[in-house]
Amino acid sequence: MKDLVAGFIKFKTEVFPERSELFKQLARKQSPEVLIITCSDSRVVPELFTQREPGDAFVIRNAGNIVPSYGPEPGGVSASVEYAVAVLGVRDIVICGHSDCGAMKAISTCTCLTHLPAVANWLRHSDAAKMINESREYRSPEAKLDALIRDNIVAQLANLQTHPSVALALAQKRLNLHGWVYQIEAGEIQAFDELSKQFVSLADNPGVCALRSH
């Protein structure tokens, strides 16, 4: 906690005064252009590796960067997606997974989660990815995990499209969907390409998109 408080004091005394005009504008409204759905993992900071300013991105974080399919009892993720699309009018949604994901590792290794019932229940939203992943053979456990991380992104992109606000925005051609894998050690991003159905380097293919509607 001492480090957190020290960080706030530095922000208050050094950073905030230099950016006070920006924060005055943000105090009145927000108009982010993108919704980023990523993992709660402490090593994943989307505002850092995309170099976004406050107010630029609406962010949802949870274990495994999961988007439950829309249902009769929508939860916090559903509400946040709906608000970002229907109210804020974001033009792009990025589902961003990452290397060495603990949630995906638990699925990949069939870890017993009886002592973590809430986690076990949450990860069931990745069952489609798990089934697809287990239908293949892999050269190593690491290769299986890397594949599952990507399979999960594709599965969550499919789940995302079951949300009415997203379906409407796609039909009206005012929303694009993106699937990324952030490589922590290399500082790289692999992005899902709707044409090849493969993950490619985002740096080499900056225009790549998982589903383009406009």
Distance CA 2, CA 213 (A): 47
**Is 18 inside a domain boundary?**
no
Is a pLDDT exceeding 80 seen at residue 157? yes
**H/E run at residue 123:** helix 117-123
Residues annotated catalytic, as ranges: 39, 41, 43, 98, 101
Tell whether the torsion through CA atoms of 152, 162, 80 and 87 is positive or negative: positive
Instruction: State the CATH number of the domain containing residue 69.
Output: 3.40.1050.10
Integer distance in angstroms from the first to the last C-alpha of the chain? 46
d(CA 53, CA 23): 11
Which residue type sits at 142? E
Domains of the chain: total:
1
Model-wide pTM > 0.75: yes
Cβ–Cβ < 8 Å for 133, 109 = no
Per-residue pLDDT at 214 exceeds 90: no
Q: What is the mean pLDDT of residues 15-39?
A: 95
Q: Domain for residue 206, yes or no? A: no
Assigned domain for 75 exists: yes
DSSP-derived letter for residue 70 is: P
Residue from 129, 174, 121, 169 nearest 150 by CA: 129
- Residue range(s) defining the domain that contains residue 124: 31-201
- Report pLDDT digits (tens) over 99-148: 999 999 999 999 999 999 999 999 999 999 999 999 999 999 999 999 99
Query: Does the residue 207 lie in any domain?
Result: no
Mean pLDDT, rounded, for 145-162? 98
127-140 in b/e form (b: 16+ CB < 10 A) is ebbbeebeeeeeee
* Closest of 203, 209, 205 to residue 187, by C-alpha: 203
Residue 66 lies in a domain: yes
Distance CA 153, CA 147 (A): 10
pLDDT tens column, 39-74? 999 999 999 999 999 999 999 999 999 999 998 777
Our measurement of the distance from residue 96's CA atom to the centroid of its chain's CA atoms, rounded to an integer in Å, reads: 4
Do 59 and 66 touch, CB atoms closer than 8 A? Answer: no
In-domain check, residue 21: no
In the numeric block, the tokens 């973590």 are attached to 116
pLDDT of residue 100: 97
Q: For 141-166, what is the mean pLDDT? A: 98
Query: Chain-wide mean pLDDT for the chain?
Result: 96
Q: How confident is the model at residue 75 (pLDDT cuts 50, 70, 90)?
A: confident
Does the residue 173 lie in any domain?
A: yes
Is 177 within the bounds of a domain? yes
User: Does the pLDDT of residue 84 top 80, yes or no?
Assistant: yes
